[in-house]
Amino acid sequence: MFLWASAVVFAVFFANVALGAFGGGGFLGDVGEMLVLFAASILFVMAILKQEADHKNKNGS
């Protein structure tokens, strides 16, 4: 779930950057871009830590 959420939030960030690069003007400002990228990073780290914890519980170690 966290991995999908991270992908969605990163897609929002990418869409904003792509719109800005092609002259359409992004819909987020600098601070908004930073917060969206930060949220995507946090969600990704949460997903990886959850998968690691599940793997440890599955192996019993």
Arithmetic mean of pLDDT over the chain: 92
Strands (E), 1-61: none
The per-residue pLDDT for range 25-41, each reduced to its tens digit, is: 888 888 999 999 999 99
Global pTM reads 0.83
Whether the per-residue pLDDT at 24 is higher than 90: the answer is no
Judged by DSSP in three states, 49 sits in: helix
Helices 2-21 and 30-59: angle between axes, nearest 10 degrees: 150
Residue 38 CA to its chain's centroid (Å): 7
State mean pLDDT over 17-22: 92
Whether the per-residue pLDDT at 61 is higher than 70: the answer is no
Percentage helix, strand, coil, to 5, in the chain?
Answer: 80, 0, 20
State mean pLDDT over 40-50: 96
Q: Would you say 20 and 4 are in contact if contact means Cβ atoms under 8 Å apart? A: no
